[in-house]
Each structure stands twice: as structure tokens, then as C-alpha cells.
A and B are shown apart, each in its own frame.
Chain A
């Protein structure tokens, strides 16, 4: 039962947060500072997630493992202006290969 309550409360909270951002009145968004901030904040958040999902270990640890090699391959693909699916494919294939070759990595 506790698990169900936790799920429902999380669902309500997560939805409220999503709707809050979408519902900010247009007048506030017209202000130049808000415009510039709103343009840059998602970039900062997504870059942070990229780094976290690449180097994050268990708990708070930072680790360099097969994912870092995979993301390096993806970065090369991005620099070469490869299509989206090629970039993601490069990361997945290289990560898997490094794990198979390197064993526990």
C-alpha cells in the first residue's frame, strides 16, 4: 500500500512540475532576461545529464568505463556531422564492444 501511495504522490508532483513550466504566462516569457535564461537552462541541464550518464557510477562516484569510450565515438560522429541514428549507434556498439573485449568494464 505504501508503495502505491508513493507512486501516486510522485506522479502528481512530477505532473505538476511539468505543467507549471508550460503554464508560465506569456507576459513573463516576453522579458528579455527570462527569454535568454529559458534558452540556456535546458542546454545546461541536458549537458549535465549527458556527463552524469557517461561518468556516473554507483552512488555519488565518478567512473571512466566503456561508456566513456562509446561517448567518445559518438563525439567523433557528431564532429563529422553524422546523422542522429549513426551517432547513437556508434555509442551503443562501441560501448558493447569495449565491454566484450575488456571483460568487466
Chain B
């Protein structure tokens, strides 16, 4: 897609993919929602009580931060340091919100409710949609299914994940990155600017990961976006994707 789809395109494709959007969104909600087992089990293993683990999934609801908080508290870190680490990991959600507010065009009254669901997976699903109606549907279905399942599996995992064994045995730790990869694919096919950003972000992450504390490498990788725009402006000026 090197140009924005025309209005006619959008209308002609809008009825068909509705069920496809719901199917993919439920797929993400289920695949990632199940990893709540892993969180519940990790929290219980770190000495976090069942109500505390459930409160984290209900109120914090951003996976990486929850794992970081439970892990740090379990390892005996001071509370302020544990909170700071978890907070750092959640900063990226602000950048997701920035993009989602353009794609979803939410009424002011809905924003405080929608905000709780602004996370990696809902953003990835929303980015993958061709138009606003599909984006709103994808965001809502992913958010709802993931929220419900993540909280249920946190409860179950905190009570008895030891019976299930490690999620690693079942390869479930590969589900998260595969979800992102699958959802990024249409964006990466869209244009050279997107692909350049992806390659640079991956390289920055690999360089920063061994050097910087948890949460920071991902934010460093975000610098790929302004760097690509800068190079684009100075370079021969190949036009990238038209922003919707």
C-alpha cells in the first residue's frame, strides 16, 4: 500500500472483513490472555498473594509492568525501585495512545474507559486494520477478550499453575512475539519507511539490551522513528506511506 485507500476502496472492503477482524482480535485475546497463567504463577512464586496478583491484573493491566513489579518485589527490591521499573515499562503506552487517538477518533467521554485497554496487543490489532470501523471493532474486541481472560487466568495461575507446569514447556512464551510479528506484517509490507524503522528498531534493541536496565532498551529502540524521518528528509525524498 503506497497510497491511502480511496473512500470507494474502504466501502467495498468494509462488510467482508468484519468477521475476520473479530476472529483475529479474539485470537489475540485468547493467545495472549492465556499467558495470564504465567503471570499468576510468577506472582505466586514471588510471594505475592492471590488478591494482590489479581489486583495487579485488574488495575495495572499492562503485562510487562506486572511481571516486572511482581519479580522485583519478590526478589526483595525496595518498593520505589520496583515501582519505577514497572512504570518505565508502561511509558510506551503513551505513544500507543497518541497513535490510537488518531485511528479510533474516540469521543471525549469514552477516552477514560478506553485508556485502560491501551496496551501492546490492542495497538497491534488496531494498526493492522484498513479503516476506522475495523480499527474500533478490533480495539474493542481485543481489549475486552484480553481483559477478561487475562484476569481469569491470573486468578487460576496464582492458585495452581504449578499443576500445569511451566508455560515454557508448551512453547507459550513464543506466542507473545509471534503475535506482534503477525500483526506488524501488513504495516511492514506497506512501505520502505516502515521497514527501515523496523530494522533500525531491532538493531537498537539488540545493542541496548545488554547495556541498559529493564524497560529502557525498548524506549531507546523507539528512537528509530525520528531517526528514519530525519534520514528521509535529508535523503533523496522517496515518499513513504500516506498517513491516514
Contacts and interface: CB of A to CB of B under 8 A. Distances in A.
A101 interface: no
B180 A50 contact: yes
Q: Which of B49, B91, B201 has the most CB of A within 10 A?
A: B201
Q: Which of B24, B60, B127, B188 has the most CB of A within 10 A?
A: B60
B145 interface: no
A4 B127 CA distance: 35
Given A14-B65, A78-B181, A22 B243 contact: no
A44 B229 contact: no
B100 A22 contact: yes
Nearest to B185: A78
B184 A70 contact: no
B48 A92 contact: no
Contact of B222 (A3, A44, A55, A78): A44
Interface string B112-134: 10111011100110010000000
Contact of A71 (B87, B96, B181, B205): B181
Interface in B198-244: 198, 200-202, 204-206, 209-213, 217-218, 221-226, 228-229, 241, 243
At the interface, is chain A mostly helix, strand, loop or mixed?
A: helix
23 contacts: A10-B83, A10-B86, A11-B56, A14-B90, A15-B115, A18-B90, A23-B111, A24-B98, A34-B98, A38-B98, A39-B243, A40-B224, A42-B96, A47-B180, A47-B202, A52-B209, A71-B174, A77-B182, A78-B185, A84-B27, A84-B183, A87-B182, A94-B174
B115 A7 contact: no
Contacts of B194: 40, 43
Interface in B71-100: 73, 79, 82-83, 86-87, 90-100
B172 interface: yes
B101 A74 contact: no
Given A10-B87, A14-B87, A14-B90, A92 B175 contact: yes
B201 A10 contact: no
B39 interface: no
Nearest to B65: A14
Given A47-B201, A92-B171, A20 B184 contact: no
A105 to B, nearest CB: 10
B197 A96 contact: no
Contact of B65 (A10, A42, A46, A53): A10
Contacts of B204: 48
B24 A84 contact: yes
Given A21-B100, A96-B170, A7 B177 contact: no
Given A7-B52, A22-B100, A48 B183 contact: no
B144 interface: no
B182 A84 contact: yes
Contacts of A74: 174, 177-178, 181-182
